[in-house]
Structure 1
Amino acid sequence: MKRNLIIVVCIILSMLIPFIPAHAAENNQRNIYVVKAGDTLPQIARRYETSADEIKVSNGLQSNNLVVGQKLWVPITYEVVAGDTLREIAADLHSSVESIKAKNRLTSEQLFIGQVLKIPPKKMTMQGQHILMTREEFRDWLFNTKVNRKVTIIQQHHTWLPSYKQFHGSNHFRMLMGMENFHKRKMGWKNIAQNITTFPDGRIAVSRPFNIAPDGTIGPKANLTGIAIEHVGNFDIGHDVMTAQQRESIVYVTALLCLKFGLTPSIDSITYHHWWNLRTKERVLDKGPDYNVKTCPGTGFFGGNSTANAIHNFYPLVSRKMQEISSGKPFN
């Protein structure tokens, strides 16, 4: 009799599991789909009653190509339980109050128990291949992204031109398109050279897909297993003074990339363009003659562009930020 009772309870619980509210299981990531072999974007879109374009803009996808293991935010339905608020649901399920209200034709934030809501994922800010993000959005995007090439080097560059003089607070995409056009038409590269760009306001853009190695004058050895970051500004001494917002983004992005690819900050994993010979494309560290090396990322970049400057001024900041992120401290 006791055994039969246990079996009945187990059956009931198994029937109830699909209806457990998302937050009751600590969000259990119901709204994330992990790409499997054979998946296509249209197939996934049909499964979740949405469109391929909606999935692309919700996940910052630069093409229809998917990688096995890649994580995608997808729309779900959610049943309201006691104590729920629209703001908490939006925060827990990677959405926004405005998009939930619009999707469900709500005229207020008032909810009632048992109400079933459609929860669309947040939309990202994109123009073409360029994705513009906050630090928090970049963190989520990066850890959902599956990179199918080996990455061992994080390159630090400054744009020199454009500099702070050309940044007007809202022209991120115009600047990115300008760099892309220059790199393709003047330099002869197939795409914008860098994977990532940081801006004076702290915003972060991903342009060149991570699965494609960067381009540029630093050379093929640094590029083959590299991720290139361009920091908008001229950080040679006497020119642009880096903003606190951009400074935080540079450290944060570098720390996230180290965590993503299992790197420890060192001269072998985080490199400055200044350490590479323009003619031979070999790494010369501090021994390059001035006429064969760039000052990039700037003689004033976190105290300077030498290996000693990186070791004493930049790497410790990255290491501390890695520890903060890993320990689960609140996002800055």
Structure 2
Amino acid sequence: MKKISVLILSFILLVIMNISPSKASGYNHSNLYDVKPGDTLWKIASKYHTSIEDLKVTNGLQSDLLLTGQKLWVPTTYVVVSGDTLWKISNAYNSSVQLIKAANGLKSDYIYIGQRLKIPQRKLNMQGQYVLMTREEFKDWLFHHKFNRDIRLIQQHHTWQPAYNDFKGTNYFTMLKGMENFHVQEMKWKNIAQNLTTFPDGKIAVSRPFNMEPEGSIGPKANAGAIMIENIGNFDIGHDVMTKEQKETIVYMTALLSLKFGLTPSIDTITYHHWWDLNTKERVLDNSKGYSVKTCPGTGFFGGNSTTAAKTYFYPQVKRKMQEITASLQ
């Protein structure tokens, strides 16, 4: 019964996410492009008089790969009607008042009926493969993307090191590059291990491309069909105390991933690093005595790192957030 209810919620959310912002707000011109068979970034950029680089930064694309059904923000034009304001238009078309004014040479916020406006798109904060986003930006990114592998498991980790005292409020990309260098040079992995990273201020970074399975010390069985989340901080009791912003992001992100991939929160779909033996690479859950396991994601992570803690403190929050997200979009 629980599985059925979550699948229903997933279906509702996917239907709603296919409604463009312009249609949802009463605007009749969408600037979301549905990728079709044979499309390339070059073809789409040429059609909408933009550049491949702008498309990639606008949509948080880590490569030139496109999959049929993927949605891309593209620049558009809009004819002003009665009741419009720059703020309303920018909200409906993934832009900003400042961007619209700059694109159209506007000196004030005054617009008039029949005026034709160029609507450029907001750009995401990217450096190389890394895409830094707010929670809401991540929601759009996740539901606009298509992925070419089956995802059945969400891994929760804490970094231990770097920890909170290493985060300076702006050094997101420096920290990500440092982890990447360690994972590639010291651990001999192909890329940074984690697909997602959360920061103490609640920001999210898409890190390792989603179409690549994660790498890590718990082995191929845990990594198969998985998305790995590294939460910046040392959440063992007596060390970093998770901020409200990061806590909200972890719950929200896990809820979005569960909805996107049709997962019901349980020990079989949301797993902790602590539940896997480092030597055998097998799942041991709470039977860690005599096995080589880490405390990750921390003895203070949402009430602890046991399956009981996950079922009591973490999964219920994720389920409630899944329901809230779906209800808010109806």
The normalised TM-score by structure 2 is 0.91
Corresponding residue for residue 134 of structure 2: 134
Q: 1:273/1:23 Cα in 2 relative to 1: closer, same or farther (>3 Å)?
A: closer
Corresponding residue for residue 115 of structure 1: 115
Deviations 1:32-52 (A, max 9, x none): 111111111010000001111
**CA deviation after TM superposition for structure 1 residue 28, in Å:** 5.1
Residues 181, 192 of structure 1: 8 Å contact kept: yes
Corresponding residue for residue 13 of structure 1: none
**CA deviation after TM superposition for structure 1 residue 329, in Å:** 6.2
- Equivalent pairs: percent with the same residue? 65
Corresponding residue for residue 188 of structure 1: 188
Q: 1:64/1:329 Cα in 2 relative to 1: closer, same or farther (>3 Å)?
A: closer
**CA deviation after TM superposition for structure 1 residue 147, in Å:** 1.1
Deviations 1:122-142 (A, max 9, x none): 100000000000000000000
For 1:128 and 1:279, locate their aligned partners in 2 and report how far apart those are by CA, in whole Å: 34
For 1:290 and 1:207, locate their aligned partners in 2 and report how far apart those are by CA, in whole Å: 34
- Structure 1 stretches (4+) deviating beyond 4 angstroms? 22-25
Corresponding residue for residue 149 of structure 1: 149
Residues 23, 29 of structure 2: 8 Å contact kept: no
For 1:92 and 1:290, locate their aligned partners in 2 and report how far apart those are by CA, in whole Å: 57
Q: 1:183/1:29 Cα in 2 relative to 1: closer, same or farther (>3 Å)?
A: farther
Q: 1:329/1:49 Cα in 2 relative to 1: closer, same or farther (>3 Å)?
A: closer
Residues 27, 93 of structure 1: 8 Å contact kept: no
SS at match of 1:285: coil
**CA deviation after TM superposition for structure 1 residue 218, in Å:** 1.6
Corresponding residue for residue 323 of structure 1: 323
Which ranges in structure 2 are unaligned for 5 or more consecutive residues? 1-21
Q: What letter corresponds to residue 247 of structure 1 in structure 2?
A: K
Corresponding residue for residue 265 of structure 1: 265
**CA deviation after TM superposition for structure 1 residue 26, in Å:** 2.6
Corresponding residue for residue 274 of structure 1: 274
**TM-align CA RMSD:** 1.4
**CA deviation after TM superposition for structure 1 residue 306, in Å:** 0.2
For 2:311 and 2:146, locate their aligned partners in 1 and report how far apart those are by CA, in whole Å: 30
SS at match of 2:298: coil
For 2:136 and 2:264, locate their aligned partners in 1 and report how far apart those are by CA, in whole Å: 22
Corresponding residue for residue 212 of structure 2: 212
**CA deviation after TM superposition for structure 1 residue 224, in Å:** 1.0
Q: How many residues align?
A: 309
Q: Which has the larger radius of gyration?
A: 1
For 2:191 and 2:176, locate their aligned partners in 1 and report how far apart those are by CA, in whole Å: 11
Corresponding residue for residue 102 of structure 2: 102
Deviations 1:157-216 (A, max 9, x none): 000000001001110111001001110001000100000000000000001111110111
**CA deviation after TM superposition for structure 1 residue 107, in Å:** 1.0
Deviations 1:11-70 (A, max 9, x none): xxxxxxxxxxx5697345610111111111010000001111110000000011111111
Q: What letter corresponds to residue 187 of structure 1 in structure 2?
A: M
**CA deviation after TM superposition for structure 1 residue 289, in Å:** 2.7
For 2:237 and 2:24, locate their aligned partners in 1 and report how far apart those are by CA, in whole Å: 54
For 2:329 and 2:165, locate their aligned partners in 1 and report how far apart those are by CA, in whole Å: 35
Which ranges in structure 1 are unaligned for 5 or more consecutive residues? 1-21
Corresponding residue for residue 37 of structure 2: 37
Q: What letter corresponds to residue 79 of structure 1 in structure 2?
A: V
Q: What letter corresponds to residue 57 of structure 1 in structure 2?
A: V
For 1:280 and 1:154, locate their aligned partners in 2 and report how far apart those are by CA, in whole Å: 20
For 2:259 and 2:298, locate their aligned partners in 1 and report how far apart those are by CA, in whole Å: 25
For 1:174 and 1:42, locate their aligned partners in 2 and report how far apart those are by CA, in whole Å: 31
Corresponding residue for residue 301 of structure 1: 301
Corresponding residue for residue 11 of structure 1: none
